[in-house]
Structure 1
Amino acid sequence: MADFDGKVVAISGAARGQGRSHAVRFAKEGARLVLFDICGQMSEVPYAMATKNDLDETVRLVQEAGAEVVSGVADARTYDEVAAVMQSGIDAFGSPDVVVANAGIWSEAGALWEMTPKDFRAVVDVDLIGAWHTFRAALPTMVDAGKGGSIIATISAAGLKPLQNIGNYVAAKHGLVGLVKTAALELAPHGIRANCVSPGNTNTPIFRNDAMKRLFVPDQDEPSDDVFLSRAAGMVPLGVPYMEPGDITEAVLWLASDHARYVTGTNISVDGGSAIS
């Protein structure tokens, strides 16, 4: 893998899960980090979200790996909050070289005609508009710096195919694919690449929770872990119930690296084949 020594990497949703995995790996590769997360609970989200303690632990881990870091609490839905943390990173380290829009949520599942407008909007606001906020806060400085770079968005199989009962998530992730492809065209003259990484079910709190169990096993009131994971594995061609965060990090690191210097406007699926099933 290319050396990220001295590179500036900004990551949203960095308090835990995939975001933490990405941050720690970039730290080990010598990057300087700009990290943020909402660090609070949204009423529309049916599982426990990350806390300030989670973000503090990510900061501790990246510092333990030897990285310099700027971090802050910011709600991806609120551009001014995102821009404030990004600017703090720019003031400390200079323009970002890599931006990973990783923050994402899902709401309680249901058919489109049963979803509340509040639930639908919450997912679109975080997963689509929040990603745009993250890119928007960094890109002017990246373009002005004239040194190229890489922006990466976390999507999912839901960005590549329809899935029932999570129509708001599907809509947000499909929109994010279009946003990234447009960014790839607009940023190409500036040497900035734009790509997506598409995780399958991943062993993080956004997947390992009771609400997700009910989505996968709707015919049981309190499904066991064994039944839940068996159902999850049955939907994946490679027969695995979930990926590990580090599996996704490998793809993110490659997309950010010089090994992918001519890769733009595309997606890497790390999902055991979910997107083709």
Structure 2
Amino acid sequence: MSSAARPDLAAVPETMLWTLWQRAVEARRPDALLHDPKAVELVDRIDYPFAERFGTSGFQSQLQALRVGCFDREVSDFLAREPRGTVVCLGEGLETQYWRVDNGRAHWLTVDLPEAVALREELLPPGPRQRYLAADATDLAAWADEVDRDRAVLITAEGLLMYLPPDRVKALIADCADRFPGGSLVLDAVPRWFARLTRTGRMRTATYQAPAMPWAMDARERDKLRTASPAVAAVRDVRPAAARGLLGALLPFALTAPPLATRRPSVTVLDFAAPAR
């Protein structure tokens, strides 16, 4: 298979390569928590020094797999309930979730910035039930009307919101709740201590500097997301499945015992109130 041209991406868009690399590192393991052959294929195709730039860490790749697994489980559950529903993926980058969980009947819409969509179209050409839209994911006027309102809708924002100012996060949640009554939004958040490290330049290795993250939320704060809109009817924590090794032994405590349980990364589902009859 021929190699793709080397991507030239700015700091935040480059994170799509970081997450792709972590998924591929995990997927190559014989005891992998994540089955993602498409990620492995992309890493082999793209002309990019992944290992030199990002390093190789089994701990880091496993953490990424746990996060991805939370999103995959929510999308799979949605498609089991609504086989012909629509999954709207905001800021998807080079996420390969479609190839992991698609049911053969659902519709998928990716909304991302032009440079991300251009790279995705080159490397992951859309199938007949997929559509890529180059637009600002936080501007619903640019994409919401492209979603079929006769189908159930699940919106995902994986690895996106932490790079936005807090007021834009709140506005995005409110706009989604208003535009998609009866739908749901799955989002993830980094804890406040982690975001502070990125903003002060201390989240770095010898070869990679993590971009600053303006928005953060400790896991204990998830109920505050209700304040974004009266149409947020329910807030639910999505907890990762079992891990392996030392992380597997520590995971139950990290999910239940303070302070880890209250200041950990989190994946949250927001359910929007159904339209009045």
Same fold (TM over 0.5): no
Higher RCO (CA < 8 A, seq sep 6+):
1
Q: TM-score, normalised by structure 1?
A: 0.43
